[in-house]
Structure 1
Amino acid sequence: MALCGAALAAEEKRGQVTNLPLPRFVSLKANEGNVRRGPSLTHRIDWVFKRRDMPLEITAEHGHWRRVQDRDGAGGWVHYALLSGVRTVLIEQDMAPIHTRPDAGSPVDAAFELGVVARLGECTPEWCRVSAGGYKGWIEKTALWGVGKDEIRE
């Protein structure tokens, strides 16, 4: 039985190794992570990610290797041991207000600078709970990279 185009589009793409959704977000577990041209130690290192907890997007899998990209689309192949399922996000708006509740009218507890890496908590369709530097609260999802536009987290 063949699926029609709409049903096929609704079907999630899954990794051939983990059977987890692709693309998906993870974070860098290590202080440094070699980014290789291909999925093996014999492939050349193109550059090194040097920011622990940085959010990354997995776009493909091959054995113990994951093809990842950062906020700017830079990436390559990284060994899975360097990645963590702990979710983080990158603040994409300078002095982004962190609210006490998921409501623009609620009090602001803090403001995060552009480029801050924050731990991701629950998300509604428009807001996410984040924490960084001892501060926590709610931020509009549009100010973040590292969470899906339609992603809901509890």
Structure 2
Amino acid sequence: MATILVSILGLGGAAAQAEEKRGPVTNLPLPRYVSMKASEGNVRRGPSLTHRIDWVFKRRDMPLMITAEHGHWRKVQDRDGAGGWVHYALLSGVRTVLVEKDMTPIHVRPDPGSVVTAHFETGVVARLGDCLPEWCRITAGGYRGWTRKEGLWGVGADELRD
């Protein structure tokens, strides 16, 4: 019985630590989503200017996930898991998402039976608005409306926004 109790307590402690993981610099949750503020940003192997540039992100407003922090540097990854260290000045707290399903319907209301006002292609970057448990309001190209969260990258599955 004592072994089972220790195991349960051990799991609870690990779950609590995972929920409370915060960046040592900002004290904000990790991981978290941000977007590219700049139209171009160097991605480095480590958190300083002395580290080699592995590649360059070239898409303004692209959603990224911050996974670590060190000083003025944030370790980020894109939808494909590619990433590295980017200076925090190149990032924005403005939330965007990447449409992952081709011809994603954009509804007037968060209801599959509501009127569809547009369809977004795969790869569209949209501004993120309110999010309910299964739906998010997004805006792109002059169109706005609600779509299912499952077809978006850049928002957590359990994330609610208002």
Answer whether TM exceeds 0.5 for this pair: yes
Query: How far apart in 2 are the matches of 1:125 and 1:66?
Result: 28
> Aligned pair 1:6/2:23, yes or no?
no
- TM-score scaled to structure 1, two decimals? 0.96
Deviation, structure 1 residue 4 = 4.5
Q: Distance in 2 between matches of 1:24 and 1:117?
A: 17
Structure richer in helix, relative to its length: 2
Q: What's 2:120 paired with?
A: 112
Among 54, 63, 83, the alignment partner of 2:71 is 63
Structure 2: runs of 5+ lacking an equivalent: 1-8
User: Aligned to 1:94, which of 98, 102, 105?
Assistant: 102
CA distance in 2, matches of 1:129, 1:6: 34
Larger Rg: 2
Deviation at 1:48, TM superposition (A): 0.1
- Residue 41 in 1 paired to residue 49 in 2? yes
Cross-structure match for 1:135: 143
SS in 2 for 1:142: helix
For residues 77-101 of structure 1, the C-alpha deviation after alignment (integer angstroms, 9 at most, x for no partner) is 0000000000000000001000000
Q: Who is 2:155 aligned against?
A: 147
Code of the residue aligned with 2:111 in structure 1: it is D
Instruction: Provide, for residues 21-66 of structure 1, a one-character-per-residue CA deviation record: whole Å limited to 9, x for no partner.
Output: 0000000000000000000000000000000000000000000000
2:93 pairs with 67, 85, 101, which one? Answer: 85
Matched residues in 1 for 2:50 and 2:105: separation? 45
Gaps of 5+ in 1: none
